[in-house]
Copies of this chain bind each other. A is one copy, B any other.
Amino acid sequence: MNEIGANRRNLDWTAQDVAQWLGVPLDGLGSMAISGMADIPVAEPTDLVFADDAAHCELAAERGCGAILTTPQSWAAAQKRPPAGILVSNVRASWVDLLERLEADAPFPAGIHPAAVIDPEAQLADDVSIGAFVTVAAGAVLHDGVRVDDGARVGAGCTIGAGTRIFANAVLYPNVRVGRRCRLHACCVIGADGFGYIAGPRGARKIPHVGGVVIGDDVEIGAAACIDRGRTGNTTIGSGCKLDNLVHVAHNVQIGDGTLIAALVGIAGSVRVGRGVVFGGQSGVADQLEIGDGARIAGRGAVVTNVPGGETWSGYPAGRHSNRIREAVALTYLPDLLKRVRRLERILFPGDDGTHRGDAP
């Protein structure tokens, strides 16, 4: 964590530089200085901003912004414009290109901090970067460009793919395999024992967990997220998966490539999640279930049955989102419906006062 914060406003870019890097046309003042990047509402005059439409171009001009990233169409349609327009076809993608360049301006030196403890039986590529108070245990293998930040733990027999970064105080238990270009955020815990017990003579008896965790390439694991090891086999997270903060993945879960899991989601033991699934925040899945490819679980959805691929589910218990929405709306009419039915009953069953049925008060 030695880089100077990326959002410093000390860039020495110009609008012309940016247009040239992106290979796109520039309209207006190419010499316009760019010292940072920001959203329009909080931009300084020399921050580069972006606009998806003409209205935001105009807003940027009113706010005194100097340079803007937008489409030729939005630029042409705007009544007012900042002095410099960098004209791109895909605003978001070009914005991300520039954020990547901004971030890359803070290179990180390779090397092993003298206050790290590396087991002599660990294998480290030449250009790894290891922070202070890191421990790397026996049999661990760290490939090219791996970076392990201060205080992180790499357990025995772990393998870390090229270009992966493990942030401060993250913990990898033994036998975790992580792919390339992953980002494992601070205080995440990969490979703790699963929550598995059998009935024993004196209460719950622990099932030792001797499996591992296998994580693909380009995976991001949020801060304080926890992925448990398998009992004997592995818990697996497919390539391209992104897990947000405080996500729980239990033992022996299998998650397909490209699945996105928002914060505070819990996935119970041995669940199989397909490819390209999306979990909204605080959703959950009971154990042993299957979630098909491309399914979407809405925020807070509580899944207790298998979910077919491609469907959107929500609710508690979760079902098809369209049904759950209808039911949620219908529920708001229910207090009134009770009265309406009582009224009907008074006509048809006049001698029946309804009390034995426990009418709602």
Binding site for B on A (CB under 8 A): 1-8, 36-39, 42, 92-93, 96, 99-100, 102-103, 113, 115, 117, 119, 131-133, 135, 137-139, 149-151, 153, 155-157, 167-169, 171, 173-175, 183, 185-187, 189, 192-193, 195, 197-198, 200, 202-208, 210-212, 218, 220, 222-224, 226, 228, 231-233, 240, 242, 244-246, 248, 250, 257-258, 260, 262-264, 266, 268, 276, 280-282, 284, 286, 299-300, 302, 304, 315-317, 319, 323, 326-338, 340-341, 344-345, 347-348, 357-360
Contacts and interface: CB of A to CB of B under 8 A. Distances in A.
A208 B100 contact: yes
A5 to B, nearest CB: 3
Contact of A198 (B93, B103, B202, B341): B93
B175 A233 contact: no
Nearest to A132: B117
Nearest to A315: B316
Contact of A39 (B233, B246, B331): B233
B39 A232 contact: yes
Nearest to A204: B242
Contact of A189 (B7, B245, B344): B245
A167 B264 CA distance: 22
A284 B258 contact: no
B153 A171 contact: no
A232 B7 contact: yes
B204 A260 contact: yes
4 smallest CB-CB distances across A and B, nearest first, come from: A5-B175, A6-B210, A189-B223, A5-B157
B156 A210 contact: no
A135 B139 contact: no
Nearest to A228: B245
Contacts of A155: 1, 5
Given A203-B257, A332-B323, A266 B268 contact: no
Given A266-B282, A334-B334, A336-B358, 14 more contacts: A1-B156, A7-B211, A93-B198, A149-B153, A185-B189, A193-B220, A203-B258, A204-B260, A244-B248, A245-B248, A248-B281, A300-B316, A330-B360, A336-B357
Contacts of A192: 167, 185-186, 222-223, 245
Contacts of A240: 202-204
A280 B195 CA distance: 12
